[in-house]
Amino acid sequence: MAASDEVKIIGLWPSPFVMRPRIALNLKSVAHHNFEEIIGNKSDILLKSNPVYKKVPVLLHRNRSICESLIIVEYIDETWTSAPSILPSDPYDRAIARFWAYYVDDKIFPSLSKIAKSWGGDEEALEQAKTAMELMEKAFKDCSKGNEFFNGDQIGYLDIAFGSNVGWIRTLETMHGFTLINDEKTPGLAGWAERFWAHEAVKDVNPSVEKLIEFSHEVFTKPPPSTT
Protein backbone atom coordinates (compact mmCIF):
# COMPACT_ATOMS: atom_id res chain seq x y z
CA MET A 1 0.00 0.00 0.00
CA ALA A 2 1.43 3.38 -1.00
CA ALA A 3 1.86 6.00 1.69
CA SER A 4 -0.88 8.12 0.11
CA ASP A 5 -3.24 5.14 0.34
CA GLU A 6 -2.55 4.48 3.99
CA VAL A 7 -5.75 4.13 6.00
CA LYS A 8 -5.96 5.55 9.50
CA ILE A 9 -8.76 5.95 12.02
CA ILE A 10 -8.50 8.76 14.55
CA GLY A 11 -10.52 7.66 17.52
CA LEU A 12 -11.06 6.91 21.20
CA TRP A 13 -11.42 3.31 22.31
CA PRO A 14 -14.60 3.75 24.47
CA SER A 15 -16.53 5.50 21.69
CA PRO A 16 -19.29 3.48 19.98
CA PHE A 17 -18.99 5.87 17.05
CA VAL A 18 -15.33 4.97 16.56
CA MET A 19 -16.19 1.27 16.62
CA ARG A 20 -18.29 1.71 13.48
CA PRO A 21 -15.58 2.46 10.91
CA ARG A 22 -13.23 -0.03 12.56
CA ILE A 23 -15.83 -2.79 12.15
CA ALA A 24 -16.53 -1.72 8.57
CA LEU A 25 -12.83 -1.84 7.68
CA ASN A 26 -12.57 -5.30 9.24
CA LEU A 27 -15.54 -6.50 7.21
CA LYS A 28 -13.80 -5.26 4.07
CA SER A 29 -10.44 -6.75 5.18
CA VAL A 30 -8.76 -3.35 4.84
CA ALA A 31 -5.49 -2.95 6.71
CA HIS A 32 -5.48 0.22 8.77
CA HIS A 33 -3.82 2.02 11.65
CA ASN A 34 -5.58 3.31 14.73
CA PHE A 35 -4.54 6.72 16.00
CA GLU A 36 -5.73 6.85 19.62
CA GLU A 37 -6.65 10.26 20.97
CA ILE A 38 -6.03 11.20 24.59
CA ILE A 39 -9.25 11.98 26.44
CA GLY A 40 -9.49 15.69 27.18
CA ASN A 41 -6.57 16.61 24.92
CA LYS A 42 -7.47 16.87 21.25
CA SER A 43 -4.49 16.29 19.01
CA ASP A 44 -3.32 18.58 16.25
CA ILE A 45 -4.06 15.88 13.68
CA LEU A 46 -7.68 15.68 14.87
CA LEU A 47 -8.16 19.45 14.83
CA LYS A 48 -6.64 19.63 11.37
CA SER A 49 -8.60 16.67 10.02
CA ASN A 50 -11.98 17.69 11.46
CA PRO A 51 -11.83 21.48 11.96
CA VAL A 52 -15.65 21.85 11.93
CA TYR A 53 -16.78 19.46 14.68
CA LYS A 54 -13.36 18.66 16.18
CA LYS A 55 -14.45 15.17 17.19
CA VAL A 56 -13.76 11.52 16.47
CA PRO A 57 -13.91 9.39 14.46
CA VAL A 58 -12.05 10.59 11.39
CA LEU A 59 -10.97 8.35 8.52
CA LEU A 60 -7.76 9.36 6.77
CA HIS A 61 -7.40 7.90 3.27
CA ARG A 62 -5.27 9.10 0.38
CA ASN A 63 -4.31 12.17 2.40
CA ARG A 64 -7.98 13.13 2.74
CA SER A 65 -10.20 13.13 5.80
CA ILE A 66 -13.75 11.81 6.06
CA CYS A 67 -15.78 12.64 9.18
CA GLU A 68 -18.94 11.40 10.95
CA SER A 69 -19.16 7.70 11.72
CA LEU A 70 -22.01 6.62 9.44
CA ILE A 71 -20.71 8.74 6.55
CA ILE A 72 -17.37 7.00 7.02
CA VAL A 73 -19.05 3.57 6.95
CA GLU A 74 -20.76 4.45 3.66
CA TYR A 75 -17.47 5.74 2.24
CA ILE A 76 -15.75 2.48 3.18
CA ASP A 77 -18.55 0.49 1.57
CA GLU A 78 -18.34 2.47 -1.67
CA THR A 79 -14.53 2.54 -1.81
CA TRP A 80 -13.70 -1.11 -1.16
CA THR A 81 -16.23 -2.92 -3.32
CA SER A 82 -14.54 -6.32 -3.66
CA ALA A 83 -15.93 -7.48 -0.30
CA PRO A 84 -19.67 -7.93 0.35
CA SER A 85 -21.68 -4.72 0.54
CA ILE A 86 -22.40 -3.24 3.95
CA LEU A 87 -25.46 -1.32 2.82
CA PRO A 88 -28.46 -3.32 1.54
CA SER A 89 -28.62 -3.59 -2.24
CA ASP A 90 -32.35 -2.87 -2.44
CA PRO A 91 -33.15 0.89 -2.36
CA TYR A 92 -36.07 0.44 0.04
CA ASP A 93 -34.03 -1.74 2.40
CA ARG A 94 -31.24 0.86 2.28
CA ALA A 95 -33.68 3.62 3.21
CA ILE A 96 -35.07 1.60 6.12
CA ALA A 97 -31.57 0.79 7.40
CA ARG A 98 -30.64 4.47 7.28
CA PHE A 99 -33.87 5.42 9.05
CA TRP A 100 -33.20 3.10 12.00
CA ALA A 101 -29.52 4.08 12.10
CA TYR A 102 -30.66 7.68 12.49
CA TYR A 103 -33.04 6.56 15.23
CA VAL A 104 -30.14 4.93 17.09
CA ASP A 105 -28.18 8.19 17.10
CA ASP A 106 -31.19 10.43 17.71
CA LYS A 107 -32.90 8.45 20.50
CA ILE A 108 -30.92 5.50 21.81
CA PHE A 109 -27.44 6.96 22.26
CA PRO A 110 -28.72 10.12 24.02
CA SER A 111 -30.74 7.98 26.45
CA LEU A 112 -27.74 5.77 27.23
CA SER A 113 -25.56 8.83 27.69
CA LYS A 114 -28.02 10.38 30.17
CA ILE A 115 -28.20 7.14 32.14
CA ALA A 116 -24.41 6.90 32.29
CA LYS A 117 -23.91 10.52 33.34
CA SER A 118 -26.63 10.32 35.98
CA TRP A 119 -25.11 7.10 37.33
CA GLY A 120 -28.26 5.22 36.41
CA GLY A 121 -30.56 7.66 38.16
CA ASP A 122 -32.37 9.14 35.17
CA GLU A 123 -35.68 7.23 35.21
CA GLU A 124 -37.06 9.09 32.20
CA ALA A 125 -34.02 8.21 30.10
CA LEU A 126 -34.23 4.60 31.27
CA GLU A 127 -37.87 4.33 30.19
CA GLN A 128 -36.99 5.92 26.85
CA ALA A 129 -34.23 3.37 26.37
CA LYS A 130 -36.54 0.47 27.22
CA THR A 131 -39.15 1.72 24.75
CA ALA A 132 -36.45 2.12 22.12
CA MET A 133 -35.33 -1.49 22.60
CA GLU A 134 -38.87 -2.72 22.04
CA LEU A 135 -39.00 -0.74 18.78
CA MET A 136 -35.63 -2.14 17.74
CA GLU A 137 -36.91 -5.65 18.46
CA LYS A 138 -39.66 -5.09 15.90
CA ALA A 139 -37.19 -3.50 13.49
CA PHE A 140 -34.94 -6.55 13.80
CA LYS A 141 -37.83 -8.88 12.98
CA ASP A 142 -38.79 -6.80 9.94
CA CYS A 143 -35.29 -6.14 8.61
CA SER A 144 -33.68 -9.53 9.26
CA LYS A 145 -36.51 -11.48 7.59
CA GLY A 146 -35.73 -14.43 9.86
CA ASN A 147 -31.95 -14.29 9.43
CA GLU A 148 -29.21 -13.72 12.00
CA PHE A 149 -28.56 -10.01 11.46
CA PHE A 150 -30.48 -6.87 10.58
CA ASN A 151 -28.82 -7.08 7.17
CA GLY A 152 -29.77 -10.74 6.65
CA ASP A 153 -27.15 -13.46 6.87
CA GLN A 154 -24.24 -11.05 7.33
CA ILE A 155 -23.45 -7.90 9.29
CA GLY A 156 -24.53 -4.71 7.55
CA TYR A 157 -25.10 -1.00 8.02
CA LEU A 158 -27.76 -1.12 10.73
CA ASP A 159 -25.97 -3.92 12.58
CA ILE A 160 -22.93 -1.67 12.81
CA ALA A 161 -24.91 1.45 13.74
CA PHE A 162 -26.82 -0.23 16.57
CA GLY A 163 -24.32 -2.92 17.52
CA SER A 164 -21.64 -0.39 18.36
CA ASN A 165 -23.77 0.51 21.40
CA VAL A 166 -24.13 -3.04 22.74
CA GLY A 167 -21.02 -2.79 24.92
CA TRP A 168 -22.35 0.30 26.67
CA ILE A 169 -25.80 -1.28 27.03
CA ARG A 170 -24.25 -4.29 28.75
CA THR A 171 -22.08 -2.03 30.89
CA LEU A 172 -25.01 0.05 32.12
CA GLU A 173 -27.04 -3.09 32.79
CA THR A 174 -24.20 -4.54 34.85
CA MET A 175 -23.52 -1.34 36.77
CA HIS A 176 -27.09 -0.39 37.59
CA GLY A 177 -29.00 -3.65 37.77
CA PHE A 178 -31.59 -3.18 35.01
CA THR A 179 -31.98 -4.93 31.66
CA LEU A 180 -32.56 -3.35 28.27
CA ILE A 181 -31.98 -6.40 26.06
CA ASN A 182 -33.19 -9.73 27.40
CA ASP A 183 -34.72 -13.04 26.35
CA GLU A 184 -38.13 -12.15 27.75
CA LYS A 185 -38.99 -8.83 26.09
CA THR A 186 -36.45 -8.63 23.26
CA PRO A 187 -35.52 -12.23 22.37
CA GLY A 188 -34.57 -11.35 18.79
CA LEU A 189 -32.18 -8.62 19.91
CA ALA A 190 -30.76 -10.84 22.65
CA GLY A 191 -29.69 -13.49 20.15
CA TRP A 192 -28.55 -10.91 17.63
CA ALA A 193 -26.38 -9.11 20.21
CA GLU A 194 -24.57 -12.35 21.09
CA ARG A 195 -23.90 -13.14 17.42
CA PHE A 196 -22.81 -9.60 16.64
CA TRP A 197 -20.43 -9.39 19.62
CA ALA A 198 -18.81 -12.72 18.73
CA HIS A 199 -18.31 -11.90 15.03
CA GLU A 200 -14.72 -11.92 13.76
CA ALA A 201 -15.00 -8.32 12.53
CA VAL A 202 -16.27 -7.12 15.91
CA LYS A 203 -14.74 -9.10 18.78
CA ASP A 204 -11.26 -7.56 18.55
CA VAL A 205 -12.71 -4.05 18.31
CA ASN A 206 -15.19 -3.97 21.16
CA PRO A 207 -13.95 -3.03 24.62
CA SER A 208 -14.86 -5.38 27.45
CA VAL A 209 -17.59 -4.54 29.93
CA GLU A 210 -14.98 -4.54 32.69
CA LYS A 211 -12.90 -1.96 30.86
CA LEU A 212 -15.95 0.23 30.19
CA ILE A 213 -16.96 0.05 33.85
CA GLU A 214 -13.48 1.19 34.86
CA PHE A 215 -13.72 4.02 32.33
CA SER A 216 -17.13 5.03 33.70
CA HIS A 217 -15.76 5.27 37.22
CA GLU A 218 -12.97 7.52 35.97
CA VAL A 219 -15.06 9.82 33.77
CA PHE A 220 -18.56 9.99 35.23
CA THR A 221 -18.72 11.36 38.75
CA LYS A 222 -20.90 9.28 41.03
CA PRO A 223 -23.43 11.48 42.85
CA PRO A 224 -23.21 11.61 46.63
CA PRO A 225 -25.76 9.56 48.60
CA SER A 226 -28.97 11.37 49.41
CA THR A 227 -29.45 12.61 52.94
CA THR A 228 -32.58 13.12 54.96
Sorted by where each begins, the domain ranges of the chain are 3-79, 91-217
The third-level CATH classification (topology) of the domain covering 91-217 is Glutathione S-transferase Yfyf (Class Pi); Chain A, domain 2 (1.20.1050)
| Long-range Cβ pairs for the range 168-175 (8 Å, 24+) | 168/16, 168/112, 168/116, 168/212, 169/112, 169/193, 170/209, 171/209, 171/212, 171/213, 171/216, 172/112, 172/115, 172/116, 172/120, 174/209, 174/213, 175/120, 175/213, 175/216
Give the pLDDT of residue 222: 65
pTM for this model (two decimals) = 0.94
Class of domain 3-79: alpha beta
> What is the full per-residue pLDDT of the chain (228 aa) written as tens digits?
444 569 999 999 999 999 999 999 999 999 999 999 999 999 999 999 999 999 999 999 999 999 999 999 999 999 999 999 999 999 999 999 999 999 999 999 999 999 999 998 899 999 999 999 999 999 999 999 999 999 999 999 999 999 999 999 999 999 999 999 999 999 999 999 999 999 999 999 999 999 999 999 999 866 555 444
